[in-house]
């Protein structure tokens, strides 16, 4: 299956993507994680991306699309993938369609994780992530680590993402509304979108997402 996960920052895309990809046995491709890996390896791409990310802006399409394409063309993605954080604007969605059409492939579903804005801010402000593995995510109130600052899973150091500060979060939300939300309409015209309420427990949201994938899109 080829799936796109859309939703505002803090909707739980990363958490759900990790779980869904595991269940569906397809790779989880997160452009945010790919950029963060480049930043920690201090590559040229990482240096470029960091300036945009810290300001809450999108990294330019040219480099983002090239990086995503390269990842999607790795052998493990031959039979499907779950995209988290890509595409993030209509030009990226068009580039993805072109890439897939060139290989006689298409997307199977777009899951739109919906969460109220005040909840988003609360979730992001308390979010802490493991330096060893970004799929190990905690929250100071909703999911505190047993020992403050230490990952329960692997003992890694927990940190707050540079772009999770309140000002940057506001900017990221604005970018989401103006640039990313239009891709939901873009995919609705292709009948691919199912909206998933992303409130409730992590398990509940995963169950809703899996149900949606079984039943196909609601065409809404």
Q: Could you identify the residue written with the tokens 């079984």?
A: 214
Q: Residue 195, SS3?
A: strand
Segment lying near ligand AMP (by CB under 6 A), choices 52-60, 115-123, 142-150, 189-197 = 52-60
Q: Which of 6, 38, 85, 136 binds ligand AMP (CB under 6 A)?
A: 85
Segment lying near ligand AMP (by CB under 6 A), choices 84-92, 98-106, 182-190, 211-219 = 84-92
Among all residues, whose Cβ is closest to ligand AMP?
32
10: region left, alpha or beta (phi > 0 left; psi from -120 to 50 alpha) = left
Does residue 72 interact with ligand AMP by CB under 6 A?
no
Q: Which of 11, 59, 82, 95 binds ligand AMP (CB under 6 A)?
A: 59
Does residue 52 interact with ligand AMP by CB under 6 A?
yes
Q: Which of 35, 81, 138, 187 binds ligand AMP (CB under 6 A)?
A: 35
Query: What single DSSP character describes residue 179?
Result: I
User: Nearest Cα to 81, choosing from 45, 114, 109?
Assistant: 109
Q: Which of 12, 32, 112, 128 binds ligand AMP (CB under 6 A)?
A: 32
Q: Which of 15, 16, 18, 64 binds ligand AMP (CB under 6 A)?
A: 64
Closest separation between CB of residue 127 and ligand AMP, Å? 10
Chain positions 123 to 162 lying near ligand AMP, rule: CB under 6 A, are none
For 142, other C-beta atoms within 10 Å of its C-beta total: 11
Closest separation between CB of residue 61 and ligand AMP, Å? 7
Q: Which residues pair with 195 in a beta bridge?
A: 112
| Lateral strand order in the sheet of 127-130 | 137-139, 127-130, 158-159
∠ CA 177-178-181, rounded to 5°: 55
Does residue 88 interact with ligand AMP by CB under 6 A?
yes
Q: Where is 3: in which H helix or E strand?
A: strand 2-6
By the 8 A CB rule, do 178 and 8 touch?
no
Does residue 176 interact with ligand AMP by CB under 6 A?
no
Instruction: Give Cβ neighbours of residue 50 (< 8 Å, ≥ 6 apart).
Output: 35, 39
The contact set with ligand AMP (CB under 6 A) reads 9, 31-32, 35, 52-53, 57-59, 64, 85-86, 88, 92, 163, 172
């Amino acid at each position: 299956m080829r799936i796109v996960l859309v939703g505002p920052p803090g909707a739980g895309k990363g958490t759900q993507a990790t779980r869904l990809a595991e269940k569906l046995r397809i790779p989880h491709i997160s452009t945010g994680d790919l950029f963060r890996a480049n930043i920690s390896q201090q590559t040229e791409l990482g240096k470029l991306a960091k300036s945009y990310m810290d300001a809450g802006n999108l990294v330019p399409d040219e480099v983002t699309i090239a990086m995503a394409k390269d990842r999607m063309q790795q052998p493990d993605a031959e039979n499907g993938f779950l995209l988290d954080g890509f595409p993030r604007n209509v030009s990226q969605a068009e580039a993805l369609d072109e890439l897939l059409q060139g290989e006689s492939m298409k997307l199977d579903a777009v899951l739109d994780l919906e969460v109220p804005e005040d909840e988003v801010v609360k979730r992001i402000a308390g979010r802490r992530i493991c330096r060893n593995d970004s799929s190990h995510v905690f929250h100071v109130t909703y999911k505190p680590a047993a020992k403050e600052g230490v990952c329960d899973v692997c003992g890694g150091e927990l940190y707050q993402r540079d772009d999770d500060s309140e000002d940057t979060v506001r900017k990221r939300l604005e970018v989401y509304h103006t640039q990313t939300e239009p891709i939901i309409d873009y995919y609705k015209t292709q009948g691919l979108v199912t909206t998933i309420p992303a409130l409730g427990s992590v398990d509940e949201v995963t169950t809703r997402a899996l149900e949606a994938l079984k039943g196909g899109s609601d065409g809404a």
